[in-house]
Structure 1
Amino acid sequence: MNKTLNTLSKSVKYILAASVTTGSVTSSLAIAQDSSQTDNIEKIAVVGSRAAPRSVAESPVPIDIIGADELSKNGSSDMLDQLQATIPSFNVRQQPISDAASFIRPVNLRGLSSDSTLILLNGKRRHRASVIAFQGGGVNDGAQGPDISVIPSVALKQVEVLRDGAAAQYGSDAIAGVMNFVLKDSADGGSVSVRHGEYYEGDGDQLVVDGNVGLPFTRDGSVNLSFQYKTADATSRSVQRPDAQALADAGNMSINSPAQTWGNPEIDDDLTLFGNVKLDLGDDKEFYMFGNYSDRVATGGYYYRNPQNRGGVYTDEDMLLVGAMDGNADACPNILITSDNVLSQQNYIDNVQNNDNCWAFNELFPGGYTPQFTGEINDTSLTMGTKGEIKGGVLDGAFFDLSGSVGRNKSTYTLVDTVNPSLGANQPDDNSFQAGSYIQLEKAFNADLTKGVDLGFYEPVNVAAGLEWRQESFEIVSGEQASWQQGPLATQGFSVGSHGFAGFSPEAQGISKRQSIAAYVDVEAYITEDLLLGAALRYEDFSSFGNTTNYKLTAQYSITDELSLRASHSTGFRAPTVGQANVVNTQTSLVSGELVQSATFPPTHPVSTIKGGRELSPEESESFALGMVYQNGDFFMTIDAYSIEVSDRIAQTDKIDIVQADVDALQGVYPSPELLLGGKITFFANDFDTKTQGIDVVANYGMNLFEGTTKFSLAYNYNATEVEDPGQFTSGFKVRRLEEGIPEHRATFTMNQSWDYVSMFVRANYFGEWFATHADEPDEFSSYGWSETAGSSMTIDAEVSYFVNDNITLSIGANNILDREAQKLQQGGAYGVVSGKYYESGPFDYNGGFYYVKASYTF
């Protein structure tokens, strides 16, 4: 590829330059290799540089290019699973019984939290999800990243993954790297496909229908539209809890089997629409617009509430909680539990069952209950802008990009089969509670300029500069009154709020906002034919915590035509989200094997401040990277080593006890502080420092084999994180999860084989050792089955496609085709409480093998 821009035609030069400003990507030049394109086309990326888009080999920072065809070769239709199968440094896991994190799963790039990776759509910053991962598996505790799962592969031309710190180029969140999702923009053709699959166990039945169409929009414009509709049944990898079975054996006839379900949530009516519009305005100028609408409903289960020992609902230590509905607690004393089935005790029959005033929840749910949690996730976005070449004046030949964008994500929560214990007998007729909503809203305006300046070097120096304004808001919408109300039994030992996930009260309702402005300058050029140098500087000022300035330096030197070395150094930051600074939440958590109510408050809330909470400040990072690129004929290989130091990392604290001294200090400051006594609270804090080091190896080789075309791909990642300063709130158990919870070694090896009428691929996925644990249980419970070190494992994926003709393709395939079993829980404490067979923190799908069939029609 010629290194100079002077050899490009004026029109192509315009497209290249205009596409690389901060908020703009011209996806027509970000070419993804797939079966419909020639093998000789060089993959081009626009992230990582604001000069003309460069090939992967010429980039001074490591970039992966993943075509849409490659993404679709997966049994899962979820973008997260598709990316994990192709990027070894990218990790995601299923999270059963994890509140809303079960529906919007947090991800990890290079072992850092999900909100440490910046997500772009067509080069524009993607808005965050409204969901905060309160049970984020250690690494993602409290993370609030974008919802990548709403982006369907059918809408994409390719995905560009920049594996390098880039906050100085793109702003907050780009500590681990940047992922740019490039939408299709063709003006003709299209496709429709239907895919059906299920797990080997016979559950999790999944149906996906998707399509794409390109249409002309005036002579040189286009409208490209995509849709995906999906439904998925729940899965169950459950065992009957020993305590529930013991109740059944003791004569309790109201026990379900299993008492609780451990598995994937059910997904209903998951509909996503994407559009990408381009319009030629003439005179080398263009209008563009793209956006999405997505909506889905997901339902998952919670933990089982045992009618013999669930504190705050059924019991108070070894006593059955009995509430007086008339408020006279002395008339309804608690009952000592003396048998394995309290329903058979005569004092229960006399004093509760046959007493209209005295109430126990055994009357409503004699066999206990398992709340069901439903989330409706609605996601919308729209970006509009114009770009083109300036003609005349001092900026003659420069390229501009002006754009505005808005993104909104709303999550609404409903609980069924649960209670507000403080209401006693006065529960809603259907035991259903609408708990309220979170809404994340983001707006942005960008003005970007780029121009080549001849300073006598081998290539003109590309100078880019720009301004950005952003506003981010986080809103809490209160739930219905029954979901948060303090009922008549609140002062008699009964918990307050819908159990499992308490509704948001009017006191919690409100909108919190933050604004920021940023300015950047970026320069890059080939100083000689073999030496590429670049530098970027970015200043941002936030209305909440103040300003920050970051820089980045890059270099690449070509030793020979085949071999080059590259390096980068940068500083970065991640601003605390408005949600992390202002969220209020009450949930049920596992602590020392027991279910307890745990409340999350803002760090500046009076309850938080007495425990050490203070206003959040940005995380700060420093990154170093050194790599090599080798390309000879059909063989291509990159090796990149990196080091990322992050200080003052923001995370949710461990559960903190509220004691009598805290209650005394809160008198007159917080209403009814005595209701907090004996409970747990958490908040967000800048608490610990980490150092992450690793190596990425990517290799590809093409050849002719078996009278067809063969491509081999190898990708390997070694990633190790060390907690250098655990801070005030980070326990030793969490340190271990941060350091060992994700495998240090990950690799994929893929073989693609194609003939005239048949194509196939086989992919091996390797996962190294990892720290297997459940929920937030401390390490000292490992001897009771809560945690252990799990060994390495490998899964195999495969797919075969038959081309019936030029338009119709039939495919059959499987993920984990050999049905490799996930790490099993030890027989013991966790096995009984979790009611599941496997650890929830595994690096691959615990549900086992999944097979699918697919039919596609292209036109």
Structure 2
Amino acid sequence: MTSALLAGSLPLFAALSFPALAQETEEEKESFENIIVTGTRMTNRSAADSPVPVDVISGDEFRQNSSSDVQDMLRTNVPSFDVNTQPISDAATIVRPANMRGLSPDNVLVLVNGKRRHRGSIISFLGGGISDGAQGVDISAIPSLALKQVEVLRDGASSQYGSDAIAGVLNFLLRDNDEGFELRANYGSTYEGDGDNYTISANAGFSLGTSGFVNVTAEVRDVEGTIRSVVRDDVAGMVDAGYLAQSDFSTINAYTNEVPQYWGQPDVEDDVKVFINSGYEFSDAAELYLFGNYGQRTVTGGFFYRNPVTEGSQRGGVYAGPLVDPLTGLEDPNGVHSVLVGDLDGVGVGGSCIAGIPIGGNGNVFPDPDFLAQVQADDNCFSFIETIPTGFVPRFGGDNEDMAFTVGLRGDLEIGNGLYYDVSAQRGSNRTDFFINNTINASLGPDTPRDFKPGGQEQTETLFNLNFVYGVDVGFESDLNVAFGAEYRKEEFDLFAGDAASFALGPLASQGFSSSSNGFGGFPSDTSASQDSTAFYVDLEADVTESLTLQAAVRREDFSEFGDTTDFKLAGIFHVTDDFRIRSAYSTGFHAPTAGQANITNVTTQNVNGVLIDQGTLPLSSAAGQLAADFIESQGNGRPDLGPEEAKNFSIGFSADIADMSWTVDFYNIELENRVALGANVDFLDALNFAGGGANYGSVSEALTELDSAGIIDRQNFIGLDDLSQFRFFSNSFDTTTRGIDVVGNYSFDAWGGSSRLTLAANYNETEVDDVGTLNPIGEGRVAAIEDLLPNLRGNISWTHTQGDFRTLVRANYFGGWDDTGNGVDDIDAEVLIDVEVVYSYNEYLDLVVGANNLFDTYPEENPSAGSLGQLYSEASPFGFNGGMYYVQARYTY
């Protein structure tokens, strides 16, 4: 299957000039790396002279890490970037949500070679509170060896790049050497002896005559899961009572015999990535460029244990039955808890069955053997305690496929001072096909499969860009750099139906057995949604005097679904002296809801307090969503709507060169209003009763029929919703203010006959929820997560030293204190983790590497209630919970 990404996004100069690395001297290389292409459209702007802070991280520096996942590398190199392990997070396990400056994943813009990267296919319904409902870019699809350098713009840039550039911009610049070959083989494991991982990657450059190049990177990666959990209290009670033995654990979860429910790093298998970057210069007026990628991986995590017998822990809709008389097995409000029993030919048809198998015996965990035998002997009666007596843990994951292709033409038309142009096209897609194994559709009773394909999701984006840059002599120190252009962007979000059993409402549904594949219900049908936008921008920048640089930008963008927005930016830098500079910026920004957020439909049937309830996520724009909006508006708080988030960014800071040291310090303030949120459940029948003028319909189906007859609704717009009881939707809700300070410092010096460099990077960040919203207010738990789940203070200091054939790295990573209120863990202490790496140059081609991340095997604080769910450490830990990891690597470069 092929799908193409034909990119074209903003900065014209993101790839205007890429000299071959293989032909560069070290001095030229260092000089080049000081030139940035992010946040400016001038060809000779250095990071030190930028009006806004831009970090430049070389590819080699970026890859000094035990992990081969680009997101983990970013967490190490950029203190304001956070990403967590996702052990039990539904689809977020497959595409991990990441945060920059404590904001949502879709508040940071991701570029590759200066071109907007398409989003991932996953909407993170379980996003730890900070990322709930977000649909960000799948950064893990990028192989680290393909990177020449990474530029991190730490400022708002929506007026320059469009939607999402609120917390900042990540620009991944691909390698462009036209010769040479590099091969890396890496193996690592945790100190605990699990989490074995390997990565084999290669990069090669080829010339296209004397005027072009092709650079190709390929990577193969495999990461085994880890287990960082304890035996749950309810399971320990079952073991003590003799109901379970440890030998049953591997039967329960089909993964490990250590614990029945596992928390840990998910498995990543068949992780293959290929990136290509190429260009051919016909003349100064025309250079053709092309880059793209293909990648795939399978990610598998776990879910919660389905307890068969323990009161209070029994899984509803599967095992938990009503209170029953211990002598008859019939319902009794004063009885004992039981295991649910189903009547296969239907209640009231043929022979009858007891309501539940009474629980008693040692530890109050044994189903009454006489009643169990009675159910087993009657072919018309069924309970899952017969077929799966030990309980089970579903194994959930997905097959992810990512493809992109960009093609463009750029050059210098010798008009006046030179008119530079860049015209490009782009198409990219990210698709995830889900699977869930070792589970059931309880409503199908004994006929249920154990493995399911619940369906899939795909995000597809198409962009066309036309960009120009022209220099105008207006008497300033430099020409006035006038950049202008237009962009057309279309995004599509598709849901693919799962297998029939994954969403079936089986014959036992009416008897309290839950429908759909337990843990992750299937999508009942294929659906598709799309939206498009058109944007125009103007960007001005000039060195007004030798000491003063000013920048201004304005962008107008019109969305087919949300109307238009106009944003601007003003920025400047003043050189007080040659070695001391002050800079500041003010901008407005926005994040437009994605087609997925605006249109996703996901309906599942759940057993709530013994009652079957269809709960769903529906578009606010749908007929049902509009009825709900009418109902909410009638409460007097206004009408919910879905539109762009709006931001105001202010930053001020300085950069200074002192002897062999360089420092940058930047303060920022981000006010974000009308943030997109997934609201509370709306009772569908209440909304229909309101639409009927205060009617009192007996059911949703009756209400839909009556309202259609009265001409109030069109029944065709509500097909498939007759059993829907509750639903929720995305709308604009809460407001936040984020403040922080970034500090970056470098110091180079000679020591012990070699050369050393110290690098410091630190970030202080805090977010405050100013308004929880009135129409779709967020709860206290999410407020606590947004404000306290991430450390306010993050930083690292690195020392690199080169002497003879050896290069060493020592890095101290500081993670400030944080709270995980959702897991009952507050005031978690700060931690310092130490990383080390030693490189030995065996000869001019071969480097041998040994290193360790988290050298002293530091873990986050243990959960005081770890026994309740088996979760030994908080999954929100900013540095993970795997402990120390060592790695060895061989690098061959020719």
- SS class of match (1:736): helix
In 1, Cα distance between equivalents of 2:650 and 2:817: 26
> Offset of 1:632 from its aligned partner?
3.4
Q: Does 1:535 align with 2:570?
A: no
AA matched with 1:54:
R
Q: Which residue matches 2:824?
A: 786
Q: Does 1:312 align with 2:329?
A: no
* Equivalent residues of 1:522, 1:536 under 8 A apart: yes
- SS class of match (1:425): helix
TM superposition score normalised by structure 2: 0.88
Mapping of 1:318-357 within 5 angstroms? 318-328=337-347, 331-335=352-356, 337-339=358-360, 340=363, 344-357=367-380
* Equivalent residues of 1:166, 1:177 under 8 A apart: yes
> Offset of 1:665 from its aligned partner?
7.2
In 2, Cα distance between equivalents of 1:31 and 1:624: 37
Q: Does 1:294 align with 2:295?
A: yes
* Equivalent residues of 2:684, 2:700 under 8 A apart: no
After superposition, the Cα gap between the structure-2 partners of 1:657 and 1:362, relative to the gap in structure 1 and judged at 3 Å, is: farther
Comparing 182-191 and 597-606, the one that deviates more: 597-606
Q: Which residue matches 1:569?
A: 586
After superposition, the Cα gap between the structure-2 partners of 1:763 and 1:268, relative to the gap in structure 1 and judged at 3 Å, is: same
> Offset of 1:585 from its aligned partner?
3.5
Q: Which residue matches 2:778?
A: 730
- SS class of match (1:424): helix
- SS class of match (1:842): coil
After superposition, the Cα gap between the structure-2 partners of 1:618 and 1:282, relative to the gap in structure 1 and judged at 3 Å, is: same
Q: Which residue matches 1:426?
A: 447
Give 2:843's match in structure 1, choosing from 789, 793, 805: 805
> Offset of 1:789 from its aligned partner?
2.3
- SS class of match (1:465): strand
Give 1:381's match in structure 2, choosing from 404, 424, 440: 404
Give 2:431's match in structure 1, choosing from 410, 417, 425: 410
Mapping of 1:177-216 within 5 angstroms? 177-216=168-207
For structure 2, list consecutive stretches of 5 or more residues without a partner in the other structure.
1-7, 250-257, 323-336, 633-638, 689-696, 705-717
In 2, Cα distance between equivalents of 1:687 and 1:31: 49
* Equivalent residues of 1:239, 1:258 under 8 A apart: yes
Q: Which residue matches 2:159?
A: 168
> Offset of 1:520 from its aligned partner?
0.3
AA matched with 1:422:
S
> Offset of 1:190 from its aligned partner?
1.9
* Equivalent residues of 2:95, 2:122 under 8 A apart: yes
Q: Which residue matches 1:821?
A: 859
In 2, Cα distance between equivalents of 1:590 and 1:95: 26
Give 1:649's match in structure 2, choosing from 675, 695, 713: 675
Q: Does 1:521 align with 2:547?
A: no
In 1, Cα distance between equivalents of 2:606 and 2:411: 54
Q: Does 1:491 align with 2:510?
A: yes
Q: Which residue matches 1:7?
A: none
In 2, Cα distance between equivalents of 1:588 and 1:46: 50
Q: Does 1:461 align with 2:480?
A: yes
AA matched with 1:427:
T
Q: Does 1:132 align with 2:123?
A: yes
In 2, Cα distance between equivalents of 1:529 and 1:817: 48
In 2, Cα distance between equivalents of 1:295 and 1:266: 14
Cα deviations by residue, 1:1-49 (Å, 9 ceiling, x for unpaired):
xxxxxxxxxxxxxxxxx99735843462699999966685251110111
Q: Which residue matches 1:848?
A: 883
- SS class of match (2:243): coil
Mapping of 1:476-625 within 5 angstroms? 476-506=495-525, 509-585=526-602, 599-605=616-622, 610=628, 612=632, 614-625=640-651
- SS class of match (1:402): strand
> Offset of 1:528 from its aligned partner?
1.0
Q: Which residue matches 1:712?
A: 758
Give 2:655's match in structure 1, choosing from 629, 633, 647: 629
* Equivalent residues of 1:26, 1:122 under 8 A apart: no
Q: Which residue matches 1:21?
A: 11
Q: Which residue matches 1:398?
A: 419
* Equivalent residues of 2:19, 2:176 under 8 A apart: no
> Offset of 1:786 from its aligned partner?
2.9
Cα deviations by residue, 1:459-509 (Å, 9 ceiling, x for unpaired):
110000001001000000000101011111111111110011000002xx2
AA matched with 2:431:
K
AA matched with 2:490:
Q
Q: Does 1:452 align with 2:471?
A: yes
> Offset of 1:769 from its aligned partner?
1.3
In 2, Cα distance between equivalents of 1:589 and 1:841: 27
Q: Which residue matches 2:833?
A: 795
In 1, Cα distance between equivalents of 2:206 and 2:608: 56
* Equivalent residues of 2:613, 2:724 under 8 A apart: no
In 1, Cα distance between equivalents of 2:647 and 2:174: 31
* Equivalent residues of 2:195, 2:225 under 8 A apart: yes
In 2, Cα distance between equivalents of 1:178 and 1:20: 12
Cα deviations by residue, 1:712-758 (Å, 9 ceiling, x for unpaired):
00111111111100113211221111111111111110100111200
Q: Which residue matches 1:285?
A: 286
- SS class of match (1:100): helix
> Offset of 1:245 from its aligned partner?
2.4
> Offset of 1:603 from its aligned partner?
3.1
- SS class of match (1:270): strand
Comparing 23-32 and 516-525, the one that deviates more: 23-32
After superposition, the Cα gap between the structure-2 partners of 1:665 and 1:139, relative to the gap in structure 1 and judged at 3 Å, is: farther
After superposition, the Cα gap between the structure-2 partners of 1:53 and 1:687, relative to the gap in structure 1 and judged at 3 Å, is: farther
- SS class of match (2:359): coil
Q: Which residue matches 1:721?
A: 767
> Offset of 1:664 from its aligned partner?
5.3
Q: Which residue matches 1:233?
A: 224
* Equivalent residues of 1:457, 1:526 under 8 A apart: yes
> Offset of 1:656 from its aligned partner?
6.8
Q: How many residues align?
A: 819
> Pairwise CA RMSD of aligned residues?
2.7
AA matched with 2:749:
M
In 1, Cα distance between equivalents of 2:22 and 2:674: 38
TM superposition score normalised by structure 1: 0.91
Cα deviations by residue, 1:268-297 (Å, 9 ceiling, x for unpaired):
110000000111112432000000000001
Q: Which residue matches 1:763?
A: 811
> Offset of 1:584 from its aligned partner?
2.9
Comparing 34-43 and 72-81, the one that deviates more: 34-43
Q: Percent identity?
A: 42
AA matched with 1:522:
D
Q: Which residue matches 2:104?
A: 113
Q: Does 1:743 align with 2:781?
A: no
In 2, Cα distance between equivalents of 1:564 and 1:764: 29
Comparing 682-691 and 699-708, the one that deviates more: 682-691
After superposition, the Cα gap between the structure-2 partners of 1:420 and 1:404, relative to the gap in structure 1 and judged at 3 Å, is: same
> Offset of 1:258 from its aligned partner?
1.3
* Equivalent residues of 1:21, 1:450 under 8 A apart: no
After superposition, the Cα gap between the structure-2 partners of 1:809 and 1:38, relative to the gap in structure 1 and judged at 3 Å, is: farther
> Offset of 1:676 from its aligned partner?
5.4
In 1, Cα distance between equivalents of 2:426 and 2:274: 17
* Equivalent residues of 1:400, 1:450 under 8 A apart: yes
AA matched with 2:484:
A
* Equivalent residues of 1:638, 1:697 under 8 A apart: yes
After superposition, the Cα gap between the structure-2 partners of 1:201 and 1:78, relative to the gap in structure 1 and judged at 3 Å, is: same
* Equivalent residues of 1:802, 1:811 under 8 A apart: yes
After superposition, the Cα gap between the structure-2 partners of 1:803 and 1:816, relative to the gap in structure 1 and judged at 3 Å, is: same
AA matched with 1:640:
D
> Offset of 1:660 from its aligned partner?
8.1
* Equivalent residues of 2:20, 2:178 under 8 A apart: no
- SS class of match (1:382): strand
After superposition, the Cα gap between the structure-2 partners of 1:363 and 1:23, relative to the gap in structure 1 and judged at 3 Å, is: farther
> Offset of 1:705 from its aligned partner?
1.0
Q: Does 1:45 align with 2:36?
A: yes
For structure 1, list consecutive stretches of 5 or more residues without a partner in the other structure.
1-17, 778-784
* Equivalent residues of 2:817, 2:828 under 8 A apart: yes
> Offset of 1:653 from its aligned partner?
3.0
